[in-house]
Amino acid sequence: MSHNVIEKQALQKITPNKEYDTNLHQIIKELEGKLLGEIQKRKLPANVQLVGSMAKDTYLKDNLDIDFFLCYPTSHSKEKIAKNTLEIGKKLLKDTEESYAEHPYIRGIFKGFKAEIVPCYQIEDASQKLSAVDRTPLHTKYVRENITTSQKSDIRLFKQFLRGIGCYGAEAEIEGFSGYLCEILVIKYGSFKDLIEQAQKWRTGKKLAIAEGDYPSFNTPLTFIDPVDPDRNVSSALSKDKFDLFIKACKEYQKKPTINFFFPNPIEPWPLDRVKLEMERNKSYFIGVSFSKPDIIDENLYPQIRKTVKSLEDNLNRNDFEIKDAEFHVGKKSIYIVINTTDKPLSETMIHMGPPAKLKTNVKNFISKWENNKKVVKGPYKQNNRYYVEIERQYRYIKDYLKKEFNNLSMGKSIERSVKTNYEILNLEDLLIDDLRIFWTEYLDKKMSWER
């Protein structure tokens, strides 16, 4: 099937029809009216702005939020604008939940649709911003003024393509492309087709901007200078893994397009006995750690988990354990860290390297430190103009290391509290559980989402 036929099929599924769009806009108008009513009742000097993909007409039919910003004068305190906005949100929305960006904001449900009400400051230019959210109305204005009608379809296609391959969303769980980044990429390249073609040539460190200029540098896989704020990189949330995955997907889609890039088949979790057989076939050895999932929002949770996993890998490598990889899975109540390693014990002793012989003071201190140490098996001794000492190893088995040292890792505060309460070391049998079936299926199957 050709690219055009597949893209037409995808657009039919994700583009709202006239009836749907009309109904949605009536609901938006109703919420806007209620917001204005609350503002007038409270005598607040704020105006109401619809922002995001709804305001730009780039939303996906089955994936949308109604985002309203209440824009206040910069003379008002952050506390005052947050308090008023949260009170209004609680009154107008159902099932509300408070969240926090640089201001607290509120999300909930209005007439069956997800809605967010966010306080910000009214600004005309990004240089006037007092917080990051103040830019959002400027983003909406920029996109509305710079996209053509046909590009709205290209943006929808691009967003759905990213959803299909697991790269859509700048939130911490995904570390992918934000909706705004999708929009300005299509503005930059002109169409979905040209964007996919050009992205295949990207390399880590790719720098983009709408207009030529002298911009700051960012140490990220992709840099896209914000057209409304030249000091900001719109793609700062994009991880190296998702950057690489996107380029791979672009190449594969160009070679052999299928509808599965946009709408992949769901993962069918393997039975646990198949998981075990696959591990045995690969001669893989796994050990894990589990602890209670802290009751915090995902935006705070995922960076803390990644920090913990990175610290664990670094410390295991420093202690000479052979680590093929370490992954994590967030279950309903628990977080699991799964380490692909070996069950072979490390040697009983290890050689610890000291200073070069020419650094007399350092050598003297090294010898003084180690010559009467009970752990020393051999040395200190000189070899090839450097000093060494051979000492007993503290941990030969990874399981022993994890039991004693896991709670000493560098980790986020919420995870640290959870781990201090209780954590468990999991052997292979403990890891073969229903809560990890999807994790194991993805991990061992190795198929891309579009290949399922």
Q: What is the pLDDT of residues 78-128, one digit of tens each?
A: 888 989 999 999 999 999 988 876 678 999 999 999 999 999 999 888 888
- So what's the pLDDT on residue 128? 84
Cβ atoms of 325 and 287 closer than 8 Å: no
Please give the angle made by the CA atoms of 122, 127 and 133, to the nearest 5 degrees. 50
DSSP assignments along 324-351, one per residue: SEEEEEE-SSEEEEEEEE--PPPPSEEE
**Cβ–Cβ < 8 Å for 74, 121:** yes
Cα separation, 3 vs 393, in Å, equals: 59
Cβ-based neighbours of 163, under 8 Å, separated by 6 or more: 60, 63, 262
Cα 214 versus chain centre, distance: 29
Provide the H-helix boundaries in 282-412.
298-318, 360-370, 398-405
Angle at 169 between CA 107 and CA 262, to 5 degrees: 120
Torsion angle, alpha carbons of 401, 402, 407, 412, to 10: 120
Instruction: Please give the DSSP secondary-structure letter assigned to residue 294.
Output: P
Regarding beta strands 66-72 and 113-121, do their DSSP bridges make them parallel or antiparallel, or are they unpaired?
A: parallel
Annotation: CATH topology of 272-345+396-451: Alpha-Beta Plaits (3.30.70)
CA distance 146 to 354: 62
Spatial CB neighbours of 427, under 8 Å, sequence gap ≥ 6:
287, 399
Question: Cβ(27)–Cβ(111) under 8 Å?
Answer: yes
Pick the CATH number of 19-143 from 3.90.1170.50, 3.40.1190.20, 3.90.1420.10, 3.30.460.10: 3.30.460.10
- On the question of a common fold for 272-345+396-451 and 349-392, the answer reads yes
Domains of the chain, by residue range, sit at 19-143, 147-261, 272-345+396-451, 349-392
DSSP per-residue letters across 218-263: --SSEEEEETTEEEEETTTT--HHHHHHHHHHHHHHHHS--GGGTS
Alpha-carbon span 325 to 330, nearest angstrom: 17
Structure tokens at 444: 């061992």
Give the pLDDT score at 197. 97
- Count of Cβ atoms closer than 10 Å to residue 160 Cβ: 26
CB of 106 closer than 8 Å to CB of 116: yes
Cβ neighbors of 247 (< 8 A, separation 6 or more) are: 199, 200, 202
The predicted pLDDT at position 104 comes to 85
CA angle 51/54/55 to nearest 5° reads 50
Question: Is residue 27 within 8 Å of 75, Cβ to Cβ?
Answer: no
The domain defined by 147-261 folds into Poly(a)-polymerase, middle domain (1.10.1410)
The hierarchical CATH code for the domain 349-392 is 3.30.70.1550
Nearby residues of 243 by Cβ (< 8 Å), 6 or more positions away? 202, 204, 221, 222
DSSP label of 295: S
Give dist(CA 341, CA 195) in Å, integer: 40
Q: Which stretches of the chain score pLDDT less than 70?
A: 101-102
**What is each CA distance from 217 to 208, 221, 222, 247, in whole angstroms?**
11, 12, 11, 22
- pLDDT tens profile 183-193: 999 999 999 99
Q: How many C-beta atoms surround the C-beta of residue 255 within 10 A?
A: 7
Give me the pLDDT at residue 101, please.
Answer: 65
Three-state DSSP class for residue 197: helix
Copy the structure tokens of residue 86. Answer: 């949260």
Q: Residue 290: exposed, middle, or buried by beta-carbon count in 10 A (0-12, 13-18, 19+)?
A: buried
